[in-house]
Amino acid sequence: MSVNQQAHTGPPYGQPQPGYQGYQQPAYGGQPLPGVPQSQYGAYNGPMPGYQQPVPPQGSLRAPPTSGAPPPASGASLPSGHLTYSQFGHGDVQNGIPASAAPMQRPPASQPFLPGSAPTPVSQTSTFQQYGPTPASVQQLSNHMAGMTIGSTTAPAPPPAGLGYGPPTSVPPVSGSFSATGSGLYTPYTASQGPSPTSVSQGLPLAQPPFPGQPVSTQRLPTQVPGFAPSPSSTGIGPSSYPPSTGASRPPTMPGPPLPGQTVAGPSMSQPNHVSSPPPPSTMSGPHPGPPMSGLHGPPPPTHPPQPGYQMQQNGSFGQVRGPQPNYGGAYPGTPNYGSQPGPPPPPKRLDPDSIPSPIQVIEDDRSNRGSEPFVTGVRGQVPPLVTTNFLVKDQGNASPRYIRCTSYNIPCTSDMAKQSQVPLAAVIKPLATLPLEETLPYLVDHGESGPVRCNRCKAYMCPFMQFIEGGRRFQCCFCSCVTEVPPHYFQHLDHTGKRVDFYDRPELSLGSYEFLATVDYCKNNKFPSPPAFIFMIDVSYNAVKSGLVRLICEELKSLLDYLPREGNMKESAIRVGFVTYNKVLHFYNVKSSLAQPQMMVVSDVADMFVPLLDGFLVNVNESRTVIASLLDQIPEMFADTRETETVFAPVIQAGLEALKAAECAGKLFIFHTSLPIAEAPGKLKNRDDKKLINTDKEKTLFQPQTSFYNNLAKDCVAQGCCVDLFLFPNQYLDVATLGVVTYQTGGSIYKYAYFQLETDQERFLNDLRRDVQKEVGFDAVMRVRTSTGIRATDFFGAFYMSNTTDVEMAGLDCNKTITVEFKHDDKLSEDSGALLQCALLYTSCAGQRRLRIHNLSLNCCTQLADLYRNCETDTLINYLAKYAYRGVLSSPVKTVRDALINQCAQILACYRKNCASPSSAGQLILPECMKLLPVYLNCVLKSDVLQPGPEVTTDDRAYIRQLVTSMDVAETNVFFYPRLLPLTKADVDSDSLPAAIRNSEERLSKGDIYLLENGLNIFVWVGVNVQQGLIQNLFGVSSFSQISNALSTLPVLENPFSKKVRSIVDMLQVQRSRYMKLIIVKQEDKLEMLFKHFLVEDKSLSGGASYVDFLCHMHKEIRQLLS
């Protein structure tokens, strides 16, 4: 958790809490918030007795509360005239703690969602300190977890007047400081002590953790803080002494056996089922009340009258029961009334979504803690900032996280420990990743004819971890320990520390990533490669011509050919180009510069494909510019009246492959294709789409190619370095699972535009094509991952071909593609030496230069499971698990794959609970700090179209998504599975920043606002029915909601600040993603809204996917079963 955004917030998971008493609430930059009166709410523990109910402004995210209920804590609670961009919106927390100057490492403190523990109060002392190291160490927390003993004062002290609900003296809080291991002091958190875990209680109210980062280590909590109860800082015991927030219906008082250290009767944790509690909706036993949180409460629905006589349940360790709370408004309509009068029949209870781990919160915390400092890679086993955080990387010996991310940066020393934890050890590697302008590209090292220096035995490349010995004459390999002579030309003396004196002059000795110029020995047939070629192959069948696609492609290519990729300082690209059109037959074009007009040659014998011309087919763009332009003008006219509807497909790839073979070069085919290839030819396909196979054992056949022909063709393409990029424009079933095989195995990309229409899809297609043609790509690539003794690479995921167990072969590898590698133990590792990875990629650059790109990474090793769980990266873990599952559907029924995923994650969390968490009741779900988002993200993977399709998802869509995800990087899977949802109406038009994101749930949307949701493939703009007319006019240029057109594919360019701001946000998001996202306008209560709601992943899905709350309960049940 962060320093300036606390985890323990009031209901909408971290709404700004305007006004501590006597303390101005800072906004994000520390400036006071406009329009928030001081002390609008009491001192953080409840409202003042006579406080006025603030009127919620327009656009408040939930309906206004009735009288007597606490005010809304939504980010929208400022007057509408004030811009709240810098405020944390729903799901972001800024609770009045000043931002700390000292950067904190993630994860600094845990988030115990403790049943019954209250947020740690901040004492209203005259000075506010900056928050330093996190308090609670694991050792001490164990005492609290086992049942807290409250030290010092036992007698209740009266609260100061004006605090608490009801008459000032009606509820005396217990004061006193609690003792941890006999003392009232916290020990500051150090690297050796893990953060305390996040816990969510079952059947009991949830509470949020203490302020992480409060330096209580130097002060005893005062025995009497006015109006504050003492802070139980750990997994809570029993329900809380605080009034419940919305959704928290309290179980009646019922004595149970006290836990160790507990001195009073409250409902015991081990007894989640209380009498009179209605059965829960989900699989969890016991009611799911919301979190007891002091301070602000989200407004309850307006239909519900305040309920006096709400019998409060006291926190188990405090020894008294609160009296009735006269002013407390119950949460959901019909919350049962424990106390004086009978209430209406109870609804099913559920956990309060605001009390469970929020992705938005975690992302914001990481940004504020780790976004300001550069990430320096000099230290072994450092966990990098999250992919959602903007940070600079300084390479000091380990590869940047832009190139490699791991599921854990501290791996178990033994295979037994790895098996016990079930945490997969994997690295997601993006060898040619694009770096921001502020970071240096890998240096190119040229060792001349002798080539790079390597280990004699394992052939690892020289890197910063090699150990020079004998005065620098030899080096010992860090991977296999073999000693190798240093070549004479490479010799250098060592300094007094044993480092070579040229250490900083040589990238391969001081940096984590660098390139070597490869010698002729690294080239095919021992000769240097020719520059690669691009061949554009255009479907000219009836559909393609009629839709305007052929004309569009030809027009675009005229200008696009000037932007072919080129080496750093070259004046023009070395890449040659060729053109083919096809339907049932193939047409090749001679565009030799000496010709006045292009010549067409037709090959109708598609069964035995050959290239009818060598000279003039692949040409230099500048030399043949006029002939190419003439050809591109003629193609649309030539086929304008075509009646041919059938197409071939495999012969098209064969033709491109033969052309590259004849030219003796590698290259890429850009194929623009519209329909299922049913014409008589090799690779002919039949329509085998069958929705009835879904949820049967034969469902896996839908993901498998229907013939092995394409696998063999792919193998030939890889051998030649022929990469295939496929642009599909289907109006019906096309069999992506089969057509995509060659693309997938050659390292290419698939783009799909279903029901292509010029006006709505042109923008997206042209942008995708431009990026695809211009992006950096390596050809004829081979990648090998070496590891130090003890682990080895055993499994690989991504778009590539493997002819043996170690070499990943790709005809082409672009800057967006990742290869995911899983490691297994084959021996013991030692904590001292750690573990090393070296990824070596041999490829041909776009200028025809053969190069080696090397990435090195050192990881820590551990003998304690706690160290493993403290250094995991959930986003990378989810990336790996999704790819593992998406490969699983090729061979197993989808249900089996889903169950295996749930089981593995339950085992990961159960192992943590059993071996690392302090003892506590089985009624709590305890999550490791850095894995607290594992359940929510895993649920998103389980609900994805591949694993749980709704009725509207086509077989082709599923095959397409499956192939797409398999080579996504961590940032892409992050936003793909948990989309980003931004309230556009909260955007500050005068700043460059994005509005604070909110959680993906329908209950976070307000009818009076406009929201943007992006998932890497689409951008939805959702417009509420009550949006002000002025906003609609400013954004869409129409005067009313009903006039907004769903057919817009781009926002109109209007000269007003709001339009400019929204368009700049859209542009900013488009630049961040590797594909151009389709813009879809969704009006509330419109038919498209069903599609939009599919991406609100915290809610229940139409296809049967669980809501986040229900899934968390289900995971808890699974974990408890494993533990029992």
Per-residue pLDDT, 143: 35
Nearest to 88 by CA among 801, 588, 873, 97: 97
pLDDT digits (tens, 9 = 90+) for 651-671: 999 999 999 999 999 999 999
Q: Which amino acid type is present at position 1120?
A: R
Instruction: Please check whether residue 292 is in contact with residue 205, taking contact to mean a CB–CB distance below 8 angstroms.
Output: yes
Quick check: helix, strand or coil at residue 923?
Answer: coil
Q: Lowest-confidence range among 35-49, 380-394, 537-551? A: 35-49
Choose the most confident range, by mean pLDDT, from 67-81, 256-270, 919-933.
Answer: 919-933
pLDDT > 70 fraction of the chain, expressed in percent and rounded? 69
- More confident of the two residues 532 and 92: 532
What's the pLDDT band for 1102 if we cut at 50, 70, 90? confident
310-332 average pLDDT score: 37
890-907 average pLDDT score: 96
pLDDT digits (tens, 9 = 90+) for 693-719: 998 999 999 999 999 999 999 999 999
Q: Which amino acid type is present at position 183?
A: S
What's the pLDDT band for 136 if we cut at 50, 70, 90? very low
pLDDT exceeds 80 at position 843: yes
**DSSP single-letter state for residue 178:** B
Burial of residue 833 (number of CB atoms within 10 Å: 0-12, 13-18, 19+): middle
pLDDT exceeds 70 at position 531: yes
Nearest to 424 by CA among 825, 828, 939: 825
pLDDT exceeds 90 at position 79: no
pLDDT exceeds 60 at position 11: no
Residue 763 is encoded by which pair of tokens?
Answer: 């923008």
**CA–CA distance from 67 to each of 115, 327, 562, 605, 994 (Å)?**
28, 9, 68, 82, 35
pLDDT exceeds 90 at position 737: yes
Q: Lowest-confidence range among 289-293, 383-387, 586-590? A: 289-293
First vs last C-alpha separation in the chain: 31
Quick check: helix, strand or coil at residue 1055?
Answer: coil
pLDDT exceeds 70 at position 255: no
State the average pLDDT for the chain: 78
- More confident of the two residues 45 and 1062: 1062
234-241 average pLDDT score: 33
Per-residue pLDDT, 547: 96
Per-residue pLDDT, 637: 97
pLDDT exceeds 60 at position 327: no
Say how far apart CA 315 and CA 117 lie, in whole Å.
8
Say how far apart CA 670 and CA 652 lie, in whole Å.
11
Nearest to 198 by CA among 321, 291, 337: 291
pLDDT exceeds 90 at position 183: no
Say how far apart CA 598 and CA 596 lie, in whole Å.
7
pLDDT exceeds 60 at position 334: no
Within a 10 A sphere around the Cβ of 328, how many other Cβ atoms? 22
Maximum pairwise Cα distance, the chain: 102
pLDDT > 90 fraction of the chain, expressed in percent and rounded? 66
**DSSP single-letter state for residue 310:** B
Cα dihedral 547, 548, 550, 556, rounded to 10, equals: -140
**CA–CA distance from 752 to each of 756, 1017, 1048 (Å)?**
9, 11, 19
Per-residue pLDDT, 1076: 97
Say how far apart CA 427 and CA 819 lie, in whole Å.
8
Residue 992 is encoded by which pair of tokens?
Answer: 């460059």
Nearest to 14 by CA among 86, 64, 88: 88
**DSSP single-letter state for residue 1100:** P
Quick check: helix, strand or coil at residue 478?
Answer: coil
pLDDT digits (tens, 9 = 90+) for 153-181: 333 444 444 333 333 333 333 333 333 33
pLDDT exceeds 90 at position 965: yes
What angle, rounded to 10 degrees, do the helices at 874-888 and 934-942 form? Answer: 20
941-966 average pLDDT score: 94
Per-residue pLDDT, 1124: 87
Residue 170 is encoded by which pair of tokens?
Answer: 């009606």
Phi, psi of 109 (to 5 degrees): -140, 165
pLDDT exceeds 60 at position 866: yes
Say how far apart CA 1013 and CA 1088 lie, in whole Å.
14
Say how far apart CA 622 and CA 625 lie, in whole Å.
5
Within a 10 A sphere around the Cβ of 145, how many other Cβ atoms? 30
63-75 average pLDDT score: 42
R_g (Cα) of the chain, nearest Å: 32
507-515 average pLDDT score: 97
Choose the most confident range, by mean pLDDT, from 113-127, 218-232, 490-504.
Answer: 490-504
Nearest to 2 by CA among 104, 102, 86: 104
Q: Which residue has the tokens 């936003």?
A: 975
Beta bridge partners of residue 580, listed in sequence order: 537, 588
Residue 888 is encoded by which pair of tokens?
Answer: 């699983």
Cα torsion 172, 177, 181, 186: sign: positive
pLDDT digits (tens, 9 = 90+) for 264-311: 333 333 333 333 333 444 444 334 434 434 333 444 444 444 443 333
393-408 average pLDDT score: 98
Per-residue pLDDT, 643: 96
